[in-house]
Amino acid sequence: MATAIASADKLFGKSPAEIENLKNAFYRIMTGLEFMPNSPCLMNAGKDLGQLSACFTLPIDDSMESIFETLKVTSLIHKSGGGTGFNFSRLRPKNAMVKTTGGIASGPISFMKVYDAATEAVKQGGTRRGANMGILRVDHPDVMEFTTCKENNNQITNFNISVAITDVFMEKLSKGEDYDLIDPHTHKPVKRISAKEVFDLIVKQAHKNGEPGVIFIDRINQYNPTPKLGMIESTNPCGEQPLLPYESCDLGSINLDRMCKHVGTRCEIDWDKLKEVTRLAVHFLDNLIDVSKSPLPQIEKATKLTRKIGLGVMGWASLLIRLGIPYNSEEAVALAEKVMSFIMNEADKKSIELGKVKGTFPAFKGSIYDKKDAPIKMRNATLTTIAPTGTISIIAGPSSSGIEPLFAISYYRNVMDNDKLVEVEPLFEEAAKAKGFYSRELMEKIAENASIENVEGIPADVKRVFVTSHDISPEWHVRMQAAFQKYVHNATSKTINFPHDASIEDVRKSYVLAYELGCKGLTIYRDKSREEQVLNVGKPTAGQKQEVKEAAVPSKREIAPRPRPEVIIGTTTKVATGCGNLYVTINVDEEGRPFELFTQMGKAGGCAASQLEAVGRLVSLGFRSGIDVKAIIEQLRNIRCPSPSWEKGQRIFSCADAIARVVERRLVNAQVKLAAEVQAIPMKHSSEDVHLSVEDLDDHGDIVGVCPDCGGALRHEEGCQKCHACGFSKC
């Protein structure tokens, strides 16, 4: 990788000795875990694929040609390993007239679903699904439908969504006034609506399951470095990189955990080292643009026109711990501004230096740097970004992710044969041993809790410094994001964590505070908010609603299962699942009532066979106890596993989902549609596949799913879904 990136200097007449020195410098800061580029660069530099950019934004105009041309490009980008961002605001609203056909438009949300289905079918780099950002302006007529389009967690699963909020909207909101919804096709107002009503819905949905997020689109364009090229409409999937159409983001992060030195018994920031690494990282990312192979000519042209890079940080929480500074403190916020302003200033100096040697970015004329009195010869239109670092912070670890606080002090990591190993934050283990309170029993006890706040046997000064995301109030989360944003050219990726019992008003205050403090967007996540449907089948936690249908509860006289007749008849249905062909046999009694269900999966054995047998036995028990068949179907439908498949035009999410569809097909009238679908915990297929349970979710509310690579827990962080067990990142 160092060789490939350093080779770009050949284009500018550098000697072999100079290039060798540069390669060695790049190699040193990476092997020293002081700097890491984004994952595509790690995976592809020096290889034939050579696609080194993390994400791309693509335009969508109001025509079928544009919609599906962009969809084709999206598929090619996902195939190469990149993510994509879109703004659907140019599409005419639902039910608008289409003159060419005399019909009516289906609206932006319908096309988002088409893009979502295509993403599901195309694996990123042949290994994982792509990630998307879907954006709609707050003044689009379909904004209310867009805001609720992910109310069901099983829909549009390959998208993060954000509402693009304007300054006019925020002004109307503060005054309690109505504002105009504007048809993007005619550019004329079609309706006036209460700003409070729309904002209330956005906040309500975010409180419910974390989506939509918001981006403050006018503030983003206020800092658009090349306004003559057009307005910025969209961002990459995690929202930290606002980009013009076809631009790509080339990202890297400095590991702040490695930017400190010991002075006696104290730890201090090594500013000289931070300066050196910053300057080398800017050179690295600028070179990356020249050696990266773009999926399309338009992307190469747009990327090289502005040469935007995004240098950020990781290990912020780890650095604060080394310095003995609590994350939720005025001292930490002030230091965030000091560190990021230092990085941005040094990055600016290096970009100017490169601009003098290699030339400015081609769109320099008319940019914010093209000043009449003294032009600033910048090589890059933007330099700094705070990006998610889910994968690279594990590689560079032990290091905390991005600018997030620690997610846990101690936790369980699932390994082979369902063994659980206790993982402890290294800095905490070091402190515990130094202060004499370390024990494996204490570490296991901590692993059962979200924080150490209420754990006995830990000194108060240690508790003060080792705070986790759920110990920190949302206000401190927002203030930390705003502190970094002051010295970031692009935007800042961070999740604002809320406790489960947080109110809708708490979420509203955070959105308003983020706008007031100068943030360019906000993503929130309320603890356990994505498991409400799952918990509906059991006892609800505080603040959660119990929504179990009465039909699902047998009466006292139905509790005893019917005895089995000597002979019964039935049918066997073959269903293709992601795990192989599943054979589902349903038997009925002499009165035609469903009695029992058997399953067989090819040559499956071990855990897979036992789990299928368990499902069959429980479904049979439900049949024999008189439970409504629809209630059984409802509990099994849409349970997801990492290997979905297609069967006769329908998506089969898992073996449990396949069983539900067979039961519905054989026992329920085909015209009957279920009133609701329940999201549930994915079924365990093998000892190395899925290791998540209802108990896991009860203890760790930020778990939102199962890792498709290792079966560990997917957690919601930095606007993304990440696995701490193996480093998988949805984004």
**Active-site residues: which are they?**
236, 238, 240
How many C-beta neighbours within 10 Å does residue 166 have? 17
| Dist CA 727 CA 731 (whole Å) | 11
Residues 6 or more apart whose CB falls under 8 angstroms from that of 60 comprise 66, 67, 70, 86, 87, 88, 90, 91, 111
How many C-beta neighbours within 10 Å does residue 542 have? 6
As a dihedral over the C-alpha atoms of residue 632, residue 634, residue 635, residue 641, rounded to 10 degrees, the angle is 120
Beta-bridge partner residues of 56 = 84, 248
Task: Describe the chain by its helix, strand, coil percentages, rounded to 5.
Answer: 40, 20, 40
The closest alpha carbon to 499, from 468, 521, 538, belongs to 468
Using an 8 Å Cβ cutoff, are 492 and 235 in contact? no
How many C-beta neighbours within 10 Å does residue 617 have? 14
The closest alpha carbon to 616, from 639, 600, 635, belongs to 600
3-state secondary structure of 255: strand
- CA 724 to chain centroid: 14
Greatest alpha-carbon pair distance for the chain in Å reads 97
Residues 6 or more apart whose CB falls under 8 angstroms from that of 375 comprise 364, 369
155 DSSP assignment = S
| Dist CA 314 CA 492 (whole Å) | 12
311 DSSP assignment = E
Using an 8 Å Cβ cutoff, are 55 and 83 in contact? yes
- What Cα–Cα distance (Å) separates residue 241 from each residue in 54, 108, 250? 10, 23, 10
The angle formed by the CA atoms of residues 622, 627 and 630, to the nearest 5 degrees, is 105
Amino acid identity, position 416: M
Beta-bridge partner residues of 583 = 574, 600
Using an 8 Å Cβ cutoff, are 82 and 55 in contact? yes
Please give the structure tokens belonging to residue 489: 């050219």
Q: Is the bond preceding residue 405 a cis peptide, omega within 30 degrees?
A: no
| Dist CA 216 CA 235 (whole Å) | 11
CA quadruple 718, 121, 392, 21: dihedral positive or negative? negative
- What Cα–Cα distance (Å) separates residue 223 from each residue in 168, 311, 317? 17, 17, 28
